[in-house]
């Protein structure tokens, strides 16, 4: 049985880790930390855990965390950077759901997150944890940088096209929408019901923190520079993310439907819909699946790729558990076989 610890257990991703790991056949959460809730029972903070857990929130430096086989950091940016090394030195695997080890360029990290990166060795050794792309590297990783939600949806939507050199890399547009849970479990006026409900808006148009991560990942896939326009939007729902991606095909006669189906036929968590069908966020709500639909524009070589995920599951905690399964040589599906909630 894998002993898991969660640092930062009161946010949405921490709570989602707790929920998903509760039904994992080969893993058990033995420690969960929160400075604000230390000493309180988990089921006091999350009544959904009543009768399911007797865990008590500890401090992030509590000795019980040293008994873990894997630590998940579901913390604000900068926390894992300071603390991950001590766990790794003790032979504990670390999976960071934040951004501390996603960007390989420390100057970009400082530019986008306003922090100096102080752990060059850890940054160099960290494996970017998009399971469907870096599975082999993840198997031997001590430190996994779990991808952001927008980068996950976009990369899965573009990977088969880039791998097969089928698109113009100078004109990619990713028009993306996310529910309000993507902003985290913090007090934020813009996320209040009266502010977000019955409204729709773009944000981060001049620059979003996930932009350099997406650019870095696409460069890694393509082996050359990629010109990307990325615009995220806030939609009045709790969970869910859709990336609508516009690309120009180099050969408009290519059977991209078969290409995607073949590319993902062995992937448990990526489903390519039938020709002409478009995915919906509600189909993956609460689940670790990415659904992809394809549509060619009628009069030109434009291809529209629609990729949907649950931003808290495949976009965060579910993917972190998928990475844990890979690291420990388990079936990737363990603890993640829930299907989307309907309605």
Q: What digits encode the pLDDT tens for the residues 22-79?
A: 999 999 999 999 988 998 999 999 999 998 989 999 998 889 999 999 999 999 999 9
Closest-CA residue to 146 (of 105, 182, 198, 102): 102
Q: For 129-187, how does the pLDDT look when each residue is reduced to its tens digit (9 = 90+)? A: 999 999 999 999 999 999 999 999 999 999 999 999 999 999 999 999 999 887 777 76
* Residue 300: per-residue pLDDT: 86
Residues near 226 by beta carbon (within 8 Å), at least 6 away in sequence: 169, 170, 172, 215, 218, 219
Rounded-to-integer distance, Cα 328 and Cα 326, Å: 6
> What is the DSSP code string of 257-279?
HHHHHHHTTT-TTEEEPPTT---
Rounded-to-integer distance, Cα 16 and Cα 146, Å: 15
* Residue 36: per-residue pLDDT: 87
Q: Residues 149, 176, 194, 290: which is the catalytic one?
A: 149
Rg (CA), the chain: 20
Q: Where are the domains of the chain?
A: 2-125, 150-310
User: What phi, psi does 11 have (nearest 5°)?
Assistant: -85, 180
Helices marked H in the chain: 12-22, 42-45, 79-89, 106-113, 120-125, 131-139, 149-163, 193-196, 210-222, 256-263, 318-327
Q: Are 11 and 185 in contact (CB under 8 A)?
A: yes
Rounded-to-integer distance, Cα 231 and Cα 15, Å: 28
Instruction: Please indicate whether residue 290 is annotated as part of the active site.
Output: no
* Residue 187: per-residue pLDDT: 63
Rounded-to-integer distance, Cα 239 and Cα 177, Å: 11
> What is the DSSP code string of 60-73?
TT-GGGGG-SEEEE
| pLDDT bracket for residue 194 (50, 70, 90) | confident
Question: How deeply is 77 buried, as exposed, middle or buried, from its count of CB atoms within 10 A (0-12, 13-18, 19+)?
Answer: middle
- The average confidence (pLDDT) of the chain is 94
CATH 3.10.450.50 applies to domain 2-125:
no
The class of domain 150-310 in CATH terms is alpha beta
pTM of whole model > 0.85? Answer: yes
Rounded-to-integer distance, Cα 294 and Cα 61, Å: 48
Q: How many CA atoms lie within 13 A of 176 on its CB side?
A: 34
């Amino acid at each position: 049985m894998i002993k898991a610890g969660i640092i930062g257990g009161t946010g949405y991703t921490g709570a989602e880790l707790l929920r998903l790991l509760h039904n994992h056949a080969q893993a058990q959460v033995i420690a969960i930390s929160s400075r604000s809730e230390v000493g309180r029972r988990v089921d006091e903070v999350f009544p959904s855990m009543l009768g399911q857990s007797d865990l008590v929130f500890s401090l992030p430096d509590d000795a019980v965390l040293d008994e873990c086989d894997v630590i998940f950091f579901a913390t604000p940016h900068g926390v894992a950077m300071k603390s991950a090394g001590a766990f790794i030195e003790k032979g504990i695997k670390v999976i960071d759901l934040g951004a501390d080890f996603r960007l390989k360029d420390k100057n970009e990290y400082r530019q986008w997150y306003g922090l100096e990166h102080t752990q060059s060795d850890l940054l160099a050794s960290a494996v970017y944890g998009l399971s469907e792309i870096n599975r082999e590297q993840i198997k031997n990783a001590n430190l996994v940088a779990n991808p952001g939600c927008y980068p996950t949806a976009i990369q899965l939507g573009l990977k088969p096209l880039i791998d097969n050199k089928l698109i113009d890399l100078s004109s990619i547009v990713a028009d993306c929408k996310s529910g309000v849970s993507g902003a985290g479990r913090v007090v934020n006026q813009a996320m209040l019901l009266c502010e977000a409900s019955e409204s729709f808006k773009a944000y981060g148009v001049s620059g979003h923190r996930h932009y350099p991560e997406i650019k870095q990942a696409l460069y890694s896939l393509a082996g050359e520079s990629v010109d990307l326009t990325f615009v995220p939007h806030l939609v009045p729902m709790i969970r869910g993310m859709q990336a609508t991606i516009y690309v120009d095909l180099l050969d408009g006669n290519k059977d991209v439907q078969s290409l995607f189906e073949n590319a993902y036929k062995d992937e448990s968590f990526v489903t390519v819909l039938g020709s002409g069908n478009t995915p919906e966020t509600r189909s993956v709500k609460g689940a670790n699946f990415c659904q992809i639909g394809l549509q060619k524009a009628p009069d030109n070589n434009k291809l529209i790729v629609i990729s949907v995920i649950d931003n808290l599951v495949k976009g965060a905690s579910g993917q972190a558990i998928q990475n844990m399964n890979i690291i420990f040589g388990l079936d990737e599906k363990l603890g993640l076989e829930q299907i989307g909630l309907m309605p």
